Amino acid sequence: TCQLSTRQLAGRILFWTAIHTLLARIMTGPMDDGQHAKFSKDQTRAGFTLARMRNAVSSRFNTLPKEIISEIFLDVVYSPSPTDNPNPSMLNSLETIFTRVDNLLSVCSWWKDIGLSLGALWYFPPMADSKLARPARRTASISLQRISVPQYDNRLYLAAILPSCYNAINFPAPNGRAPQFNAINIQARSITGTVNLLSSVIQSQAPEVLSELSIYHYHIDRERYVNRPQDFLIDFFPSSQKQRLIDLIGSLSVLRIRKVNIRWDEIAFSNRLVSFHLEAVSLGNYSQLIGLLQTLQSAPELRELKFRTVFAFPEPLESGPARIVFSKLHSLYLENLDFGVLQVIIDSVVPGSHKRALYLTSQAAYVHMPAVEAELIDFQRLVDLLKRSKIDNLLVDGYYRELWISGSLLRIILESLPSLVAFQSMNCNLKEEHLQALERPKTRDDSSQSLPLPFPSLTQLSLVNTSIEDMDALKLVVESHRIQSMILSSNVTTVDRNIENDSKGWRPSHYYTFTDEDQIVQWLKGAVPKFNLVDETWGAKHDLRHAIRGNASNPTGDLAAYIEHTPQKTQGLSISQVLRLVLVYVAQLLNTCATRRFQKNPLEQQSSSGKLLLKAAMSVHWWPDRGSAQPAYECDMQRSEISIEQELAGLLALKIISQTSSEIQSQIQPNSNTSCGDASVLHSALALAQDPATIRHLSDPDIVSGCIKLMTTVKDKRSISPFSSEVGWLSLRLLVIALNICLLERYDRLEETLALFNQRHDIRAAPHILASAHLSYGITTQLSIIDTGGDCDWVFGWSVSPFGRQTCLLPASEALALLNVLWEDRKLFMRSLYSCHPNSLPGLCALLFMFARSLVHLRPQLNQDVAIPESRLHELAIRYLLVADRYQCFPTVRICESSPKTFFSTWPRAPKHVDAEDSQTMMTAFIRQLTASDKVDILEGREPFMMLQLIPFAIHPEAQSLIPEVMHCIMKYGWCLTLSSERQSNKALGFEGAIFDALRMIIRPVHSQPYHLELGIQQRVIDVLHDQDFLDLAARIIIRLDPRPDPAATKRTLVSIFEFSDKLYTTVKTKDNLEKCFRHYAPEWWKIHRYILFTGYAGVDNPRADDYEHYDSCIKTWGVTSRLLGIDSQISHYQGVKCYNDRCALAYTCTYTGTRFMCGECERALYCDDRCQSM
């Protein structure tokens, strides 16, 4: 044996001590979720040492028998983690399984040999290469290559996620022949892909082997109405394969079908069928539905029957309801069925010992007919049907909104279900009226002979993600029914109805929590024998194999199955269970070391004590989907896995940076190479932000404060700006990253962000970039909360309210000091941002948000001086907007819009550039931002409008060469705004005047450093206006102005057009050039002139005096514009005679026409234009 070093010995001691502690705690008492959290915390703390010692530990681990190691491998690969989705899709399950297998095979050659020889790891050959992440794809290809290798138990489950154009003839195995499968699960968009796959496998399948078939079609129906069934599956197969497929379907034990039509009268089920699930299909008439039930009756062993969103159409039935008996049926599940289908099933299936669950939706109030609108039925018919339904379990879902029925109707429904024992709600808002409807009336005691109340006596109550308006009403519900079992979600999310229709797709939510300390939770624990307070991870109880074998045709899981997965407190474990749990724990430690992913368990998160918390409901779609083009990043902005040595160096650097006070600095030796002002220290700290496993080290407020002190120290000691050295720029980058990580952690969204790396291995961006992108959505939500009077300063520790109290992240005065530092060095600050790679910019919207809130917090102290920092913040925000990426733009605009405008009266006076170089940087950034190919939609947003508050005041005389291109971008923005508003409505947006004001202030500056356009620049400006159809733009805006909603705004727009034309005329020295460029527009000028006249005097209903005044102003503005641009001399040449065509809209008016047309035959009939002549 070799001698162990001190580090190796310490590592082994720590490892086996953790195992001993785990054994002791399990043996001494029940194991609950809190203990799991503690063990995970111990695992995290021991992670660094274990990572360094994995070789030593593996040598001890490898002495275990191969059978035990194989069992550990299976648990590592297939057991769910606490943070897994409770109902994962088949794709997510495949990715998780094959990523874990890849991790195991990568540890060492011995583990790889064991894994390759372990047949149970290769049960699921996938057909989803294009959708899997790269590590999973690598191992999945091995699975397909091994498909012909005999398994010791011959079990194979095909998991196929087919692309839209799947047309392979042969099965993708090495020999081109499909093996015999135990289960086939297919997800496809079209029926052709399913047919092509089944055609390549059915010939080799044996009815006695194939037991499960799941076909899940997810194409989107674009038809408005429900139609009769078309495109039957079996019809697509050649005659030689049709009977083969019919026989295989009839021999199945489990069949799940979604959006696939089958002629069920051709199928004869055997005694093997135990589970049948049909979803999202139209069967035809009621007789076809009854025929399906009769076909299923031929399966004597049927245990589970599910119908979801199944349609059938009314028809006259020759006889009464059929009597269909399922003697061994355990459960009948009915979801989202219309009244007709529900009636046929309830009246046909004879009640027995089976349980009946009804997921009741608004569909139950309608009867569907083919290709027409559904017919609303009398509510009493539904009540009468429910009275004879024998429903045991009622489920309702509000889809994150209110229930579709009122409290009074819910009461009637409950009274019609006397056999009901369980009520389950999900994503609902239970108002007081709904809770009162659930309360069971008291038994009458006036007569001992009184009949039982027609009201159910509930024993089970499940409130999953359900908000409760009245806790006292909930207590009455529990007491009136004597509930024996209850589930309550600890985290509840409901859509905010005030802002749910956000145009940017951002849907903020009200989010609050229940904790064990809350009064209502304590009361429920005492009143309900089996009460469970569960979080969002509580459903992840099933083995990952279940998601592929048992749930592939239903990626989201049905509501009943979801609620059914309730966690139970472990009351005691056998010795074998203890040993198994220990082995799984050991394997998880080793796997964690191999993959270098140490994640904090969400159960460790500190929850607030029953107070209402407002959190951002961050969309899962905030990063580009897999398969889309991923952006390129600079080396230090790419995701990477740093070494242990780099991690230790980074931790040391963070300690130095966070201890930049004079007392700590005095302790550093003069000759030390670890000075906080050394750029290498900052590089070491920033390296931690590249690895998802180490970025959590940056969630320390002291780092933010230390970086601020470091930036001010650089400036004070060297008497230069912070950004003139690399240290200043690196300090700002580290500050921003640390601030973002701190805020994400306080918003309880850090784990969710970093979990994306485990789900999406195709992401190359460093984790701090994703953190910045994710946080930007949260900032948008916080700004919306501010608009409604909410408190958002708690996250910085500045709030005076008791809700969400946090320690101070940074004093508001220090935030204001940093704002001044950045503004004083705004030139180099802007140049540093501009020189960054577009996809590697630091995300500053959280920093700007902190600045804005600090000014609000310090406003009483600043008093009259608040206008100065507000102006500086506004300028810095717009400077950043000139370079910001698509994630940061919208929240930055919202910050600018939400800030007070006390400084606007003095804003135009001072130039916003420091010198010519600074001006060129801002103008170039503006041009690049509006012409970038990946930001096409920016021209239809508010970002350019906000930039125009800065650019006209940031032009230096020596930067004139960029003026034509800047004006070109502004004109392009004006056209995009106008065309976009035309597509959406018939009214102007209100931004049009600002465009002409910006153009005017560019050619004739109003700030204190004016300039005169050079002759060459003047000609280029004229060319831009001509090429961008300036007069057409002005005409479209003028004719679309509506004087009634806001007369002052329309007047300002007309004044802006006139003032720009006037300044253009006075600025341009060569007036002939103006006339030469625009004189061709004279015929079009007449058309606009006539249109305004007609609209003003004949096209307005019930005209008012203000209307006539408005259109007079429009005509004057249009006339003056033509005179200033030199086309008035050409207008008279196109002035024709009066039109007397009876069909012309302008006939017999006092208006002179603009074109001169005459009939070619009689030479007497005169027409004013082409349209007039065509009439």
- Tell me the pLDDT tens digit for each residue of 410-422: 999 999 999 999 9
In this prediction, residue 497 has a pLDDT band, given cuts at 50, 70 and 90, of very low
Average pLDDT in the 1062-1084 region? Answer: 81
Supply the pLDDT for residue 1175. 52
Query: Residue 901 pLDDT more than 80?
Result: no
Integer Cα distance of 454 and 230 in angstroms: 44
Angle of helix 66-78 versus helix 90-105 axis, rounded to 10:
140
In this prediction, residue 585 has a pLDDT band, given cuts at 50, 70 and 90, of very low
Q: Percent of the chain, pLDDT > 70? A: 71
- The larger pLDDT score, comparing residue 760 to residue 440, is at 440
Supply the pLDDT for residue 590. 44
Supply the pLDDT for residue 493. 66
Average pLDDT in the 121-142 region? Answer: 75
Integer Cα distance of 1051 and 943 in angstroms: 24
Supply the pLDDT for residue 976. 87
Residue of 254, 275, 257, 169 lying closest to 218 (CA atoms): 257
Query: Residue 461 pLDDT more than 90?
Result: yes
Average pLDDT of the chain to the nearest whole number: 76
Average pLDDT in the 77-82 region? Answer: 76
Supply the pLDDT for residue 1048. 82
Supply the pLDDT for residue 442. 80
Average pLDDT in the 260-275 region? Answer: 94
- The larger pLDDT score, comparing residue 1004 to residue 164, is at 1004
In this prediction, residue 357 has a pLDDT band, given cuts at 50, 70 and 90, of very high
Integer Cα distance of 1068 and 118 in angstroms: 83
Q: Name, of 360-374, 381-395, 502-516, 802-816, the range with top average pLDDT.
A: 381-395
Q: Do 194 and 260 touch, CB atoms closer than 8 A?
A: yes
Supply the pLDDT for residue 256. 95
Which of 568-572, 637-641, 646-650, 1147-1151 has the least mean pLDDT? 568-572
Supply the pLDDT for residue 271. 94
**Burial level of 368, CB count in 10 A (0-12/13-18/19+)?**
buried
Supply the pLDDT for residue 1020. 92
How many Cβ atoms sit within 10 Å of the Cβ of residue 1012?
14
Average pLDDT in the 130-146 region? Answer: 72
Give long-range contacts, CB 8 A cutoff, 24+ apart: 920-923.
920/956, 920/959, 920/962, 921/827, 921/830, 921/831, 921/834, 922/830, 922/879, 922/882, 922/950, 922/951, 922/954, 923/951, 923/954, 923/955, 923/959, 923/962, 923/963, 923/965, 923/966
Integer Cα distance of 585 and 591 in angstroms: 10
Query: Residue 23 pLDDT more than 70?
Result: no
Average pLDDT in the 1105-1113 region? Answer: 78
* pTM > 0.75: no
- The larger pLDDT score, comparing residue 21 to residue 936, is at 936
Supply the pLDDT for residue 908. 75
- Token pair 């070391």: residue: 593
Average pLDDT in the 243-262 region? Answer: 94
Query: Residue 400 pLDDT more than 70?
Result: no
- Tell me the pLDDT tens digit for each residue of 1016-1072: 898 999 999 988 888 888 888 888 887 777 788 888 888 988 888 888 888 888 788
In this prediction, residue 69 has a pLDDT band, given cuts at 50, 70 and 90, of confident
In this prediction, residue 1101 has a pLDDT band, given cuts at 50, 70 and 90, of low
- The larger pLDDT score, comparing residue 181 to residue 45, is at 181
- The larger pLDDT score, comparing residue 62 to residue 955, is at 955
Delimit the domains of the chain by residue range: 1135-1175
Q: Which residues contact 1168 (CB under 8 A, 6 or more apart)?
A: 1090, 1136, 1139, 1141, 1144, 1146, 1153, 1154, 1155, 1157
Integer Cα distance of 555 and 318 in angstroms: 40
In this prediction, residue 82 has a pLDDT band, given cuts at 50, 70 and 90, of low
In this prediction, residue 1123 has a pLDDT band, given cuts at 50, 70 and 90, of confident
- The larger pLDDT score, comparing residue 134 to residue 415, is at 415
- Tell me the pLDDT tens digit for each residue of 204-218: 999 999 999 999 998
Integer Cα distance of 1164 and 1159 in angstroms: 6
Average pLDDT in the 418-438 region? Answer: 90
Integer Cα distance of 944 and 1096 in angstroms: 33
In this prediction, residue 610 has a pLDDT band, given cuts at 50, 70 and 90, of very low
Query: Residue 296 pLDDT more than 90?
Result: yes
493, β-bridge pairs: 511
Query: Residue 804 pLDDT more than 70?
Result: no
Supply the pLDDT for residue 636. 56
The upper half-sphere exposure of residue 447, i.e. CA atoms within 13 Å in the direction of its Cβ, equals 5
Query: Residue 540 pLDDT more than 70?
Result: no
Integer Cα distance of 564 and 821 in angstroms: 57
Q: Which two tokens stand for residue 371?
A: 């290709």
Average pLDDT in the 1122-1136 region? Answer: 72
- Token pair 């070799």: residue: 2
- Token pair 């400077």: residue: 879
Q: Name, of 390-404, 575-589, 957-971, the range with top average pLDDT.
A: 957-971
CA distances from 2 to 13, 189, 870, 1100 (A): 17, 60, 68, 99
